[in-house]
Structure 1
Amino acid sequence: KEVYRDTPCNVRDREGRIMCYYLPGILSQRRQRQLQTAILDLCDSSIQPLTLDPASGRHWRTNSVLFKDGDTMNLRMDPGAACYSPCWLEQGHPHSPPGPSATLMNNIANLTLLQDTQEVAALMGGILSIIHPALFQRGMDVWKTLYADPWPLRNGDRVRDLLDLWATPFTAMSVIANRETPHHRDLNGGLNFFDAILTFGTYEEGRFELPEIGRRFRYDRGTAIFMEARSLAHGASAVVGERCCLVLFFRPLMLKRELPEEEMDPEDVPMPTLGELRAAVRSD
């Protein structure tokens, strides 16, 4: 019989620092419907809302081999993946001014997606403020700084408009529809940073795995997982039905932008222990 976790828990390292939170059922039915409606509206209003590359493509994240076949299956959510950020550095151009992701430059449907996911994005930011207060604060400080002076940025006026819609300290968001995810680490992520992974849709038998530490979790719709995705290898198996994931994450270079001299590099701030979190709550 398959053994997996299906109740809330966390994963800690040898020093007691919490590397992963498993939160099944944290998204209400109403919020799940909000997210699913947002994705369905995106699919209905855009010619190619999500990226899907041929099987010969180099990038596994959008390689069609890992997605359900939209040509032979009656799928409501178009298979594919896409990233969104109000301001980030383009890959391969670390010294150029940051600016909006291409997905948020000229596509009205993607702006509507930001509006439709605001409530859930804000909720995930609220959870982050409890489980990693320093990371939450650094993310908010970056957005406040950029909003106050967007003009040195690429398309600075657009950045400010997008930040009016952006409701979370995370610097980017991904939508992944109808894909299984092989075991991997997110090497573009930051050490000691949490990603927030949310799952919803109309599916059964979801499983989320941390293979190197021998943990397998029930990955039903409505589940949220906060994890340090650079250090922990992880993956999600294929499901019966349609699954969509919303992933909120940080790009390290954005959090290090204009970092005050007196502040520690965000990647050097260790993940909190349970004792430290309790002490922080008592002090408040």
Structure 2
Amino acid sequence: MKVLPFTIPASHDKTIMVQTEDMPHFYTHLHRHKEIQLTWIQEGEGTLVAGMNMHLFHAREIYLFGANMPHVFKSDPEYFSGDSTKKIRTVTVFFNPTDKLAALFDLPEMRNVQHFLDAYNCGFKVPPQLFSDVSGRLTGLLNSDGIDQLMQFLQLLKALSDVKGLEPLTVDTFPKSINDNEGMRVASIYNYIIQNYNKDLTLEEVAEQAFMTPHAFCRYFKKHTRYTLVSFLNKVRINEACKQLMSGSHNGIASIAYGCGFNSIANFNRVFKSITGKSPRNYKEQY
């Protein structure tokens, strides 16, 4: 099942796919695919939607996404302006342990790697102290082929699987049984909210995007995302507020609150603390 249909180009002479991207912005739709994905952000920043959670992402970060894990790197709004000179650059590795690599991953020597990938099917961010090592190995993969590339891939897996105490990107992912049509509907709802979080969105308006009644939409959205509409919308808004507080590109906390779609400072402060555990001012001072 794919949240949006997304197929990794197959190669008849390779068991892993290594690709680079150099574009004005990231692919804009929430999607999933059967391959595990490891992405090095060389240039770009914005919001990462990973399963049920959202994170800020920046250049010089590396993320792993498990098989069939819904995700999208959402570029900041300025990437889409007509006169923007911003761009994104990435190096990404795709591999599927249950396809051409199945015999390799069934070897006893690969048991620890397989257990590691199973344990972190909800993805993780590579710790900063490992960035230099892992990015160097990704560069090596990009610049090699044949058996040399496969051997470097195995060394990369070993380096990752030796890491302990990683924090998953999300507590859970979409139910595995959801079909493509349902996944596409949920993705369209996600995308609509993410693009319009700063407006006064109503339940009726969002439900209309899904061609459902408000009552049916509430049940559907909670079933497939484990969020209520209000809790998800608040999470998107606070995520954007955190990004602005960290960047310093704002005219005060009040301007952030109203710019992110809140209609009162008191409500903004209350929601911000409930999600981050800190007041906006303390969050700004810390980061």
TM-score by length of 2: 0.24
Larger Rg: 2
Whose helix proportion is higher, 1 or 2?
Answer: 2
Relative contact order, CA 8 A, sep 6+: which one is greater?
1
